[in-house]
Amino acid sequence: MGELDLFEFLHYYSNKILFVLLFVVIGFIGSYIFTFSTQVPIYESKTSLVLTKNDNNNATITQNDITLNKNLVPTYREIIKSRRILEQVIGNMNININYETLTKNVEVSSIENTELIVISVYDENNKLAKSIADEIATVFKKEIVDIYSIENISIIDEAQVSEKPYNVNVLKQFVIGAGLGFLISSLIVALFFYFDDTIKTEEDIEQKIGLPVLGSVPKYTKKKGGNK
């Protein structure tokens, strides 16, 4: 086929609009089935900690204390996901889960330029996710005293039971499904158009035989009720 004629393509595309709409509907239905029948909802619960100075004899926090706490944040993040902490959580809660699985469901992050640590727990059971997050914070706060012989952990926010799964966005997934259907069908139509070598216009004839068209016969449409 020669150069792509945009207007000719649009005309061709408009004739295939039902084909495109069919794929859009299929994409929509596919996203619906995935969202409500296949996708497993996962819930997220978060608890936050802050490194501070718990010294009853001296309540003043110095710059050295702040610097020390900030330097401890990366280490504390690793300790939270250690076997020492998580296996104790598993034992305390008597839950049927091993360390390797639990550590994949726990995410520990810190807020830049602060002494805040956020523990996020993901699970199919929203109440269990909340309980695990709180238990991790409690165990960590206790164990850090034995590890460093200092009390510098305070729990800022306890975890909450999440009512909505964090990995399910119905509207977004419907739009993605319909969009993929539209994109795939449009690409198929474009390929059909590109490789379609049937003669549609006088220009196509001139391109194929290299000679000008001297005349053409218009298509005759019989009128209803007219004479033969």
More reliable by pLDDT, 54 or 113:
113
Do the domain assignments include residue 164? no
Do the domain assignments include residue 108? yes
Per DSSP, 21 falls in state H
24: CB partners within 8 A, 6+ apart: 178, 181, 182, 185
Percent of the chain topping pLDDT 90 = 48
pTM score, whole prediction: 0.66
* Residue 124, pLDDT score: 93
Are 16 and 64 in a shared domain? no
* Residue 2, pLDDT score: 47
Are 22 and 108 in a shared domain? no
**Helix pair angle (126-148, 83-93), 10° resolution:** 130
Q: Say whether pLDDT at 63 is over 70.
A: no
Rg (CA), the chain: 33
Are 148 and 191 in a shared domain? no
Q: Which helix (H) or strand (E) holds 138?
A: helix 126-148
* Residue 34, pLDDT score: 83
* Residue 99, pLDDT score: 95
Do the domain assignments include residue 93? yes
Mean pLDDT over 76-80 rounds to 94
Structural domain count of the chain: 2
Do the domain assignments include residue 222? no
Do the domain assignments include residue 96? yes
* Residue 213, pLDDT score: 58
More reliable by pLDDT, 38 or 86:
86
Q: What is the CATH number of the domain that holds 98?
A: 3.30.70.1130
* Residue 199, pLDDT score: 60
More reliable by pLDDT, 84 or 207:
84
* Residue 112, pLDDT score: 84
| Beta pairing partners, 48 | 118, 157
Do the domain assignments include residue 118? yes
Are 32 and 79 in a shared domain? no
Are 63 and 23 in a shared domain? no
Are 60 and 153 in a shared domain? yes
The per-residue pLDDT for range 3-14, each reduced to its tens digit, is 556 777 888 888
* Residue 1, pLDDT score: 47
Are 190 and 153 in a shared domain? no
Mean pLDDT over 192-203 rounds to 70
Nearest Cα neighbor of 42 from 169, 173, 172, 174 is: 169
* Residue 83, pLDDT score: 95
Do the domain assignments include residue 13? yes
Are 47 and 27 in a shared domain? no
Band (197; pLDDT cuts 50, 70, 90)? low
The per-residue pLDDT for range 132-143, each reduced to its tens digit, is 999 999 999 999
Are 146 and 50 in a shared domain? yes
Are 49 and 141 in a shared domain? yes
Are 55 and 96 in a shared domain? yes
Domain ranges, residue 16: 6-37+169-204
Are 11 and 104 in a shared domain? no
Mean confidence (pLDDT) of the chain: 83
Do the domain assignments include residue 113? yes
The per-residue pLDDT for range 138-158, each reduced to its tens digit, is 999 999 999 988 888 999 999
